[in-house]
Amino acid sequence: MTTATHTPAHVPPSGTGDVPEASASLAAARRRSDQLEADIVRDPTRFRVLTGDRPTGALHLGHLLATLDNRVRLQDAGVDVVIVLADYQVIADRDETGDLPAVVREIVLDYLAAGIDPARATIFVHSAVPALHQLMLPFLSLVTVAELERNPTVKAEAADAARRQRRGMSGLLFTYPVHQAADILACHGNLVPVGQDQLPHLEVTRTVARRFNQQYAAAQPYFAEPDALLTEAMTVLGDDGTKMSKSRGNALELRASEDATAAFFRRAKSDARRHITYEPDARPEVANLLRIGAHFAGTTPEALAESVGAAGAGRLKEVVTEAVVEGLRPLRARRRSLAADGDAVVRGVLARGNARANRLADGVLTDVRELMGTVY
């Protein structure tokens, strides 16, 4: 759901703007999210999280800091975490899928190495759960074309297609927000970790749930309207100074070697000022290195900047490299061990995850058909 679950990689986040209504809405979402965090501490069994990724390549440092660490946190807190590998969404905006089985294998290994425990979390593949996609049909009837056109992901994709003069947006991508609603509601997900820019994506799911209840289950609402769990996810820059992304080729993969990690940070952008300070607005590339280094060193960006001082960007990069290499050492060791028998491990994880996802989605589809009066 990287996250409102699995937005296409090239689609930029949608801004909320500075209008008072948007600010008030965001403030309300933050208050609700804070309450949810407290509720998780009191009774994590009340919640089921649905999140996921598009399998377009192995996961990288940005995924770890932005989503994986939070998924592990929720899992360890006792929340039921369900993760979808949205392979059908790979074909939403591209003609070639690549070697999907190989990519899925690598991502599952990344999950396990990062601490996702298949005994406590569910990992499944989109295409392995037919009932989930069948739910899209009634759900599509609950939204209008105009509402889909206003969705930030759809608007950004339409603009991207026009800018690149490529083929028009696919029908699958146009209906992406409803497909995402099916992902969440097919497992009765009631909590979705998102950044504030992704709130509009989740609102479509809430709308589908609300309208289904109004139309088919007015006496006793069937779907809960899922809540947003706002995450203060770190934005991690790639070695070119733009947001780290598989599609841009600027990422540090979690499975990278120590030498590749050192090379990545040596070529990472900084600036010409020798004295290192933490100024996110004025010095974004330096701030990025400080945030990454501080995360793995267990300190603050300000403290790390002070420790480097006038030693310059070269020394900063050395410090960050050492922190990242040491911090990722256990993850990479687990990954190497898992990869030694990776095919069998991945098959077992997905067999269990797909089976549970099918049980959940089949049950929801059966209920939906009964509520709609379409059981013959």
| Predicted confidence pLDDT, tens digits, the chain (376 residues) | 444 455 554 444 444 444 566 678 888 989 999 999 999 999 999 999 999 999 988 899 999 999 999 999 999 999 999 999 999 988 887 777 789 999 999 999 999 999 999 999 999 999 999 999 999 999 999 999 999 999 887 888 777 766 765 667 888 889 999 999 999 999 999 999 988 878 888 999 999 999 999 999 999 999 999 999 998 777 899 999 999 988 788 999 999 999 999 999 999 999 999 999 999 999 999 999 999 999 999 999 999 999 999 999 999 999 999 999 999 999 999 999 999 987 999 999 999 999 999 999 999 999 999 999 999 9
Contact 252, 60 (CB under 8 A): yes
- CA angle in degrees (0–180, nearest 5) for 262-263-267: 120
Q: Are 335 and 354 in the same domain?
A: no
Q: Are 349 and 308 in the same domain?
A: no
Nearest 5°: phi and psi at 65? -80, -30
Residue 35 in any domain: the answer is yes
What pLDDT does 137 receive? Answer: 96
* CATH at 329: 1.10.240.10
Q: Are 51 and 31 in the same domain?
A: yes
Residue 286 in any domain: the answer is yes
Please tell me the total count of domains within the chain.
Answer: 2
Q: Are 181 and 277 in the same domain?
A: no
What pLDDT does 9 receive? Answer: 45
| Global pTM value | 0.90
Q: Strand pairing of 227-230 and 121-125?
A: unpaired
Contact 71, 112 (CB under 8 A): no
Residue 4 in any domain: the answer is no
Q: Are 195 and 99 in the same domain?
A: yes
Q: Which two tokens stand for residue 299?
A: 């300190």
Q: Are 300 and 201 in the same domain?
A: no
The CA distances from residue 271 to 265, 285, 320, in Å, are 13, 7, 16
Residue 250 in any domain: the answer is no
Residue 98 in any domain: the answer is yes
Residue 174 in any domain: the answer is yes
Q: Are 346 and 225 in the same domain?
A: yes
What pLDDT does 11 receive? Answer: 42
Q: Are 27 and 171 in the same domain?
A: yes
Q: Are 116 and 57 in the same domain?
A: yes
Q: Are 85 and 200 in the same domain?
A: yes
* CATH at 218: 3.40.50.620
What pLDDT does 93 receive? Answer: 76
Task: Return all residues near 218 (Cβ < 8 A) that are at least 6 apart.
Answer: none
Residue 74 in any domain: the answer is yes
Residue 5 in any domain: the answer is no
Domain enclosing residue 214, as ranges: 20-236+342-372
- CA angle in degrees (0–180, nearest 5) for 219-225-230: 160
Q: Are 140 and 202 in the same domain?
A: yes
Contact 188, 225 (CB under 8 A): no
Q: Are 220 and 317 in the same domain?
A: no
The CA distances from residue 126 to 116, 133, 331, 363, 372, in Å, are 18, 8, 26, 17, 24
